[in-house]
Amino acid sequence: MIKKGSSIAACLVVYNEEKNIGRCLKSLQEIVDEIIVVHDGKCNDKTLEIAKKFTDKIYIQPHIGEAEPHREFSFSKALSEWILQIDADEAISQELKNNLKKLVSNKDINGYYLYWPKMYKGKYITHGPLGDSYKLCLFRKNKVKLTGVPHEIPSVEGRTKKVKYQLEHYEKFKNDWESFKTKSTRWTVVDARYRIKHNYATRNKYFYLIKGTIYFFLNLGINFFKGYFLNGWVGIQHSFFSSAYYFLVNYNIFKLK
């Protein structure tokens, strides 16, 4: 029975995450009021078997290849007032667990950015812009808006706040050409197709070629002024790959239209 007030639903969208999901769900025990797990298409490993040990709110949706198009569905299955959007390769730290109920009891705040440093070579980056990273992933259900576009950041109506309680992220920071070539470039095609299919890319195809090129150089400049070079080579690489990702999304829209 979900109590009214400061109740919390942890919502996950996953795809074959048997290596990670147990750690994530275990960290949520006794602190959230419900757990919703949505699988992106057919499950080919033991992800759902593990999830069943923690929740009976498990749903299988058609495979898309991205999590964001399933987020709104996962939120719709929650009965709680608050949503904790969390991925299988994440877990809530003990400090966050100790303070989670206090955060959601604040009636003046509708959303929280949690501390989300990136892990590189087995250690969290704690300096420079990469070490000052926050993720908007705790918010009131009735105040969040999503469009379903891949890699979308939720939009929260009203006041939000950054807090230094860590959402632990165990995925290695894949900041190299090989990872970008084999993984990220595939996502850019999925992203472009989704935007075309759902009418988020309705202009002439040459507009997206120009848009992608402008964004690439503009984002590089913005990242320079944000000080990503302070993280050394890893920061420079991150700036390049993040800029290149959105260039390729727009380039693929250009090619597919």
**Domains along the chain with CATH numbers:** 8-169 (3.90.550.10), 177-256 (no CATH)
Distance CA 67, CA 77 (A): 16
Distance CA 252, CA 246 (A): 10
Predicted local confidence at residue 152, as pLDDT: 87
Q: How many Cα atoms sit within 13 Å of 167 on the Cβ side?
A: 25
Work out the number of other CB atoms within 10 angstroms of the CB of residue 170: 14
**Bridge partners of residue 144, in order along the sequence:** 156
Predicted local confidence at residue 172, as pLDDT: 63
Q: Record the tokens describing residue 255, joined without a space.
A: 């090619």
pLDDT-derived band at 125, boundaries 50, 70, 90: confident
Predicted local confidence at residue 122, as pLDDT: 77
List of residues 6+ apart from 27 with CB closer than 8 A = 91, 92, 97, 168
3-state secondary structure of 62: coil
pLDDT in tens, 150-179: 888 899 999 999 999 999 998 765 667 887
pLDDT in tens, 39-52: 999 999 999 999 99
Mean of pLDDT over the chain = 93
Distance CA 202, CA 209 (A): 13
List of residues 6+ apart from 222 with CB closer than 8 A = none
What is the value of pTM for the model shown?
Answer: 0.89
Predicted local confidence at residue 192, as pLDDT: 95
CA–chain centroid gap for 139, Å, is 14
What would the mean pLDDT of 8-23 be, rounded to a whole number?
97
